[in-house]
Structure 1
Amino acid sequence: MNEERKKALQALKTSKGQIEGIIKMIEEGRYCIDISNQIAASQSLLKKANLLILKQHLNHCVKDAFMNNSGDKKVDEVIDLLSKLLKD
């Protein structure tokens, strides 16, 4: 597993813990703003993990595809993903 994937995995595990904490906060009836702040922090970690995975994809999969003259499909995949990410 390369460094980007390790960092992404750690961010996802941290986010998982945060989400479990958020669920508990809601069940306990905690203050809405505190819950919302925790949701925002979790979203930030998910975005970080996604960027790390995308970076890994560009550095390895896309680069390899171009070296083998099959990069167009990979570029289309990245463009499709970016269009989804930019809608948010």
Structure 2
Amino acid sequence: MNNEKKKAMLALKTARGQIEAIISMIEEGRYCVDVSNQIIATQALLKKANLLILKQHMYHCVKEAFENNKGNEKIDEIIDILSKITGK
């Protein structure tokens, strides 16, 4: 497992812990703004993990595809992902 994937795993495990904490906060009837702030923090971790995974993909899978004259397929994949991220 490369460095980007290790960092992504750490971010995802932290997000998992935050999600468990958010569920507990809701069950305990905690203040809505506090719950919302925790959700926003978790979303930031998920975005960070996604960026790390995409970075790893670009440096390894996409680079290898271009070396094997199959880069256009990977470009299409990245464009598809970017359209999902941007909502366009």
TM-score, L = length of structure 2 = 0.99
State the partner residue of 1:64: 64
List structure 1 runs of 4+ shifted beyond 3 angstroms: none
Q: Distance in 2 between matches of 1:48 and 1:86?
A: 15
Say what the alpha-carbon RMSD is for the aligned residues: 0.9
Give the AA of the match of 2:50. Answer: N
- Secondary structure (helix, strand or coil) at the match of 1:69 reads coil
Is there any run of 5+ residues in structure 2 with no aligned partner, and where?
none
Equivalenced residue count is: 88
Q: Give the TM-score of the pair, scaled to structure 1.
A: 0.99
**Counterpart position of 2:24:** 24
- Whole-Å Cα distance in 1 between the matches of residues 18 and 44 of structure 2? 11
Alignment of 1:16-55 (within 5 A): 16-55=16-55
Following superposition, the deviation at residue 87 of structure 1 comes to 1.1
Counterpart mapping for 1:7-22 below 5 A? 7-22=7-22
CA distance in 1, matches of 2:63, 2:79: 15
**Amino acid paired to 1:77:** E
In 2, the alpha carbon distance for the partners of 1:5 and 1:82 equals 19
Query: Which deviations, in whole Å up to 9, do the C-alpha atoms of 1:19-71 show, x marking residues without a partner?
Result: 00000000000000000000000000000000000000000000000000000
